[in-house]
Chain A
Amino acid sequence: MTRYVINRLVQIVIILFMILTILFVLFRLAPGDPVARMVDPNMTPEDAARLIAQLGLDLPIWRQYLAYLGNCLTGNFGHSFHYGLPVLEIIGQRLPNTILLFSTGVLLSAIAGIAWGKLAAWNKGKATDLWLTVASLITHTLFLPWLALLLIWVFGYKLDWFPINGMISDEVWLDPDSGVLMKAWDVAYHMILPLGTLFIMHFGSYLLVMRSSMLETLKEDYIVTARAKGLTEKAIRNHHAAPNAWLPVVTSVGLSLAFSINGGALTETVFSWPGIGRELVFAVSQNDYPLAQASFLLVASVVLFSNLVVDVLYAYLDPRIRY
């Protein structure tokens, strides 16, 4: 197991290295001056000269590449044009917000998908099954930004139940009297709509996977045995069939991560959730190259590492699998 994880980590490092190299090449292939792309046009000449030296932009191309790799390793991604701060600092603030929203969203929709997929398979052909399947098909192909806008329109504007953007409200966070619980509740309150968007988008695919996997499992001999032993239907469903059936859902969570992170970025953008995805979209629209590059690297790393987590989890859940 440890060896497998180490192997995978080495693979991840190699892939990240390749992405870095491709980004380096693209940044130099793209029309325009690579120096102008990394140095804020509003800087004083002295500051600019210092930054150029620091980033190694005055060196020959292969030394530039080495300097670039070294800078990326030490987390020196340069200064954001827009914020005027080191990119690492901005990214460091945004990353926890993305992880919070994204992992909660994936986890909740996977749990619901498993629970409802189980029900659908158990009641195959009945009304429950039909409704659940149709609902997953429809929600699964909704256009995410549109769904987000609709939720904002209905629950944020018409009903005025939830805040429509941001992650915190100043009244709560600037008030010295509000405790940790108040602040946590405030974040959760802001998170309901973005979380709802991610949930509606993702539970369907997990439900469909769980349903078909559960239907396969129900044909197995050990289910017949369990029935013959006289176990209750509930025990068969929850303790004999479901635990084996939900392994493919874990795989599908892993396979759909890259897809989900696209949705995560769109959700963050529409709800102004201060995460990495929104920062990437914002940086691209502002031509803030240092920030865009670092955000992209980080998003790619998030996908790569979550893939690893999912694979390890899979091995842990399924004793038949030993790496």
Chain B
Amino acid sequence: MSVKDQITAPAPPRRHPWRERLLENWRVFHRNPLGRVGLILLAIFAIMAALSVAPPLIDPMYHPMTGVDPEVMHSSPPSWRHWLGTDFMGRDILSQLLAGTRVAFMVGVSAAFMSIVLGVSVGMVSGYLGGWTDIILMRLSEIIMVMPTLLVVLMLAALFGKLGIWTIVLMIAFFRWPGVARVIRAQTLSLKGRPFIDAARVAGASHARIVFRHIMPNVLPLAFLYMTFRVTAAIIIEAALAFLGFGDPGTVSWGMMLQWVWKTGHMFQAPWWLLPPGLCISLLTLSFYMLGRAMDEVLDPRLRDQSH
């Protein structure tokens, strides 16, 4: 093939433009030190969550909730038998920590996912339809936005008694959608005026088709970005709730562990018990936060607000 042929030959058809874009985004993302550190931390936590099934299988005394070491029965410093020591009942702190990782992921990701689905739907509908729908939905979001989520959930816990972990997840999701909805609405408004939407309408596409086929793909990256910040918020709220003594009594979460060390008055005597759960909460939220900020640089930085 001569040089001339090479120049005049049409470029090979790009069969997967979105895949190339994804790869390019990944490169930008990976160049960012924040994103790299965040991913590494996240991977470590994912491994911890996966390992959480192991301790009870090794020996029933390592069960995070019900396992009690008959030879200890009280809080003890780290040893070969219990790498991170034991809590006030002689339960293994390492296996509690691992179980807590699983709970934190579950709470964070599911609450964030639900609030994003809700926020994206409300935001798109509000932005696309406009008019009264828009006014009512945005007013509603303003009201929910000024509510301190933790205290609202606390209030509901007072009224409805002990909350299960899934109720807590649902409540966090319900009170955390407005921020997302407002950003998605702004994005939808700017998309609505673009020619390709007009083209779709002229071609006879229904409202539903325009919203889901043409607008949604364009707001999803932004939604995904917000999801990382919502994961952070959800993990913190659940942990704080558990710390205050309103968590699900049937689960071992990091907040629960801190509540135990605080309420049983061991915080001055048992640093090996006080340090790990708080460090894990902080690091896991940090890793999601760093991931979010790294993604922020990949995506269009406009249309952002500062209320992460």
* B189 CB contacts on chain A under 8 angstroms: none
B131-160: CB near A (< 8 Å → 1, else 0) gives 000000000000101111111101111111
Report the minimum CB–CB distance from B65 to chain A (whole Å).
21
- CB distance B158 to A137 under 8 Å? no
Interface check B111, CB cutoff 8 A = no
* B305 CB contacts on chain A under 8 angstroms: 255
Interface check B282, CB cutoff 8 A = yes
How many angstroms between the C-alpha atoms of A30 and B305 in the bound complex? Answer: 37
Majority secondary structure of chain A interface residues (helix, strand, loop or mixed): helix
* B306 CB contacts on chain A under 8 angstroms: 205, 209, 248, 251-252, 255
Closest chain A residue to B287 by CB distance? A141
- CB distance A15 to B143 under 8 Å? yes
Q: Name the interface size band of chain B.
A: 35 or more
Q: Name the interface size band of chain A.
A: 35 or more
Interface check B197, CB cutoff 8 A = no
* B149 CB contacts on chain A under 8 angstroms: 258, 262
- A138-B286, A143-B239, A149-B258 are contacts. A265–B281 as well, Cβ < 8 Å? no
How many angstroms between the C-alpha atoms of A137 and B308 in the bound complex? Answer: 12
Interface check A165, CB cutoff 8 A = no
- CB distance B158 to A258 under 8 Å? no
- CB distance B274 to A149 under 8 Å? yes
Interface check B249, CB cutoff 8 A = no
* B146 CB contacts on chain A under 8 angstroms: 15, 257-258, 300, 303-304, 307
Interface check B250, CB cutoff 8 A = no
Interface check A178, CB cutoff 8 A = no
Chain A contact residues, CB within 8 Å of chain B: 15, 18-19, 26-27, 30-31, 137-138, 140-147, 149-150, 152-153, 157, 205, 209, 248, 251-252, 255-259, 261-262, 265-266, 269-270, 277, 280-281, 283-285, 287, 289, 292-293, 296, 299-300, 303-304, 307
17 pairs, A vs B, C-beta closer than 8 Å: A27-B159, A31-B160, A137-B289, A137-B290, A141-B282, A141-B285, A142-B282, A143-B239, A143-B285, A145-B243, A149-B262, A255-B307, A266-B244, A285-B245, A289-B158, A293-B155, A300-B146
